[in-house]
Chain A
Amino acid sequence: MRLLIIGNGVAGVTTARYVAERDPSIEIGLYSREPYAYYPRPRLIDFVAGKLPLEELPQYDAAWYQQRHIDVQLGRKVTALDPGERCITLADGSQERYDRLVLATGARPWVPPIPGADRDGVHTLRTLEDAVALCREARQGAPILILGGGLLGLDTALALRSYGVDVTVVEALPWLLPRQLDREGAGLLQQVCEARGVRIITGDLCAEIQGNGHVQGARLKSGAPLQAGVVLVSAGVQPKIDLAQAAGLACNRGIVVDARMQTSDPCIYAVGDAAEFGGRVWGIIPAALAQARVAAAQITGHTETVYREIVPSTTLQVTGIALTSLGEVNPEGGDYREVRYLDEANCIYKKLVIRENKVVGAILLGDRSDLAAVNQLVSRGLGVSGVAERLLEPGFDLAAFVREHGARVR
């Protein structure tokens, strides 16, 4: 069988790895637009912070692919796919046939339609090349404006502070990390970021990026002018569905897949940031890994393996701020309650969201020592009736509770 995979990010490379492990007889071709072997995108933050040299970014080398008999084709953009003929077309016009195809095309940064967003000095951060370009400009010392106070925006803001430049983050919603934090946790995180020299503006939008050719500043919707020599847009990502859409595969926001990771064409799978399952595109590594595992199992004949929706979990990369958020942290509806613990002096905030006596979401800020236990509470759906209020009390041994209680449930 000949399997082609489009995309050398975490979803594509992991699918290739699992397939190679499970069935070495399958011929695997892996195509990447980028000219580099696999590098973990979260590590770009470490590179931007100056903690990791460029040459150490790639996680695998040519030998890694070779050992697994993965025919990796770097710097080769796929321009079209033909599900009828089962073949893909490359930028140089050549065509390759497949029996099975995996679309791991990932996502691209979304840039809102702000006047001036096409000026020099406006950046996004997704690829190694983006990171190099951003660093080159950031080192000039001009103030940096970051549009979007999500994970990427904040991580990059803190990383860029290592150059000693002024960094301002503007978040449109009323608080930072709106997908991962509630208002209270975000307020505490904002204090921590400000203490590290990052200026934060929430509840405001960039109305215009100004300058004469190159960025010189920006005007916010509130009217406030900001000086900036560099603007980083970190307003989220957009699944890359162009190839799939042009080929007539079912797409919404992402490429629609079922629990087998199959698209509307049974010979074509989609995984990772490009794939939409159950109306959702998580855009996070744990989802990409779980989906890659399912696609690989299906392709190698283990058809009983299907995708089960993950509990989304995200962690801030920057050292010195421990933050993990998992599951539902801003629940809707009235059928839940929240248990909180706040130690403002030490910048510690924890919250558990409980529904039907089960923990369905958690925020751990400033202290992640309960992470393993909380993760088990959520992923195994252990009942917490009778003890819910005590779970976050300082003397309560959460790990022991999960051990004992979990054993009983088993």
Chain B
Amino acid sequence: MSKWECLVCGYIYDPEMGDPDSGIEPGTAFEDLPDDWLCPECGAGKDMFEELS
């Protein structure tokens, strides 16, 4: 599973960590995040994220 970076604020979503603060379990792939999940740092939507190679 790859990490994704928020283009707005630079937050990196790491699927191994998930986003427990927003109710996202560790081990959740970025693709499996709910459509209305928001960047926990700046509130940007999923479409503002870019996959890190």
Residues of B within 8 A of A59 (CB): 7-10
Quick one: CB contact mask for B15-53 with A, threshold 8 Å, 1 for yes? Answer: 000001111100000000010111011111100100000
Q: Report yes or no: A10 in contact with B37, Cβ–Cβ below 8 A.
A: no
Q: Report yes or no: B8 in contact with A369, Cβ–Cβ below 8 A.
A: no
Residues of A within 8 A of B41 (CB): 42, 315, 317
Residues of A within 8 A of B37 (CB): 372
Number of A interface residues, CB 8 Å? 26
Q: How far is the CA of A314 from the CA of B42 in the complex (A)?
A: 8
A70: min CB distance to chain B, Å: 14
Q: Report yes or no: A286 in contact with B10, Cβ–Cβ below 8 A.
A: no
Q: Report yes or no: B8 in contact with A14, Cβ–Cβ below 8 A.
A: yes
Q: Report yes or no: B8 in contact with A285, Cβ–Cβ below 8 A.
A: yes
Q: How far is the CA of A369 from the CA of B23 in the complex (A)?
A: 4
Quick one: CB contact mask for A373-397 with B, threshold 8 Å, 1 for yes? Answer: 1011001000000000000000000
Q: Report yes or no: A40 in contact with B10, Cβ–Cβ below 8 A.
A: yes
Residues of B within 8 A of A17 (CB): 7
Q: Report yes or no: A313 in contact with B38, Cβ–Cβ below 8 A.
A: yes
A-B contact count (CB 8 A): 66
Q: Report yes or no: B22 in contact with A369, Cβ–Cβ below 8 A.
A: yes
Q: Report yes or no: A371 in contact with B22, Cβ–Cβ below 8 A.
A: yes
Residues of A within 8 A of B48 (CB): 14, 289
Number of B interface residues, CB 8 Å? 20
Q: Report yes or no: A315 in contact with B23, Cβ–Cβ below 8 A.
A: no
B49: min CB distance to chain A, Å: 12
Q: Report yes or no: A375 in contact with B36, Cβ–Cβ below 8 A.
A: yes
B46: min CB distance to chain A, Å: 12
| Partner among B21, B23, B44 whose Cβ is within 8 Å of the Cβ of A286 | B44
A317: min CB distance to chain B, Å: 7
Q: Report yes or no: B34 in contact with A372, Cβ–Cβ below 8 A.
A: yes
In the complex, A284 has a CB within 8 A of chain B? yes
- Which of A17, A317, A372, A376 has most chain B Cβ within 10 Å? A372
Residues of A within 8 A of B8 (CB): 10, 14, 40, 59, 285, 289
Q: How far is the CA of A399 from the CA of B21 in the complex (A)?
A: 13
| Partner among B9, B38, B40, B44 whose Cβ is within 8 Å of the Cβ of A43 | B9
Known contacts A372-B23, A375-B36, A375-B38; A315 and B9 CB within 8 A of each other: no
Q: How far is the CA of A157 from the CA of B29 in the complex (A)?
A: 35
**Which chain A residue has the least Cβ–Cβ distance from B9?**
A40
**Which chain A residue has the least Cβ–Cβ distance from B48?**
A289
| Partner among B7, B24, B43 whose Cβ is within 8 Å of the Cβ of A315 | B43
Q: How far is the CA of A14 from the CA of B47 in the complex (A)?
A: 12
Q: Report yes or no: B42 in contact with A285, Cβ–Cβ below 8 A.
A: yes
B53: min CB distance to chain A, Å: 14
Q: Report yes or no: B21 in contact with A40, Cβ–Cβ below 8 A.
A: no
Q: How far is the CA of A285 from the CA of B41 in the complex (A)?
A: 10
Q: Report yes or no: A368 in contact with B22, Cβ–Cβ below 8 A.
A: yes
Q: How far is the CA of A313 from the CA of B22 in the complex (A)?
A: 13
Residues of A within 8 A of B22 (CB): 368-369, 371-372
Residues of A within 8 A of B21 (CB): 322, 368-369, 371
In the complex, A370 has a CB within 8 A of chain B? yes
Mind listing 17 A-B residue pairs with CB under 8 Å? Answer: A14-B8, A43-B9, A59-B7, A59-B8, A59-B10, A286-B43, A286-B44, A314-B43, A368-B21, A368-B40, A369-B20, A371-B21, A371-B40, A372-B24, A376-B34, A376-B36, A399-B23
Interface residue ranges, A against B (CB under 8 Å): 10, 14, 17, 40, 42-43, 59, 284-286, 289, 313-315, 317, 322, 368-373, 375-376, 379, 399
- List of 4 A-B pairs having minimum Cβ-Cβ separation, nearest first: A40-B9, A286-B43, A368-B21, A371-B22
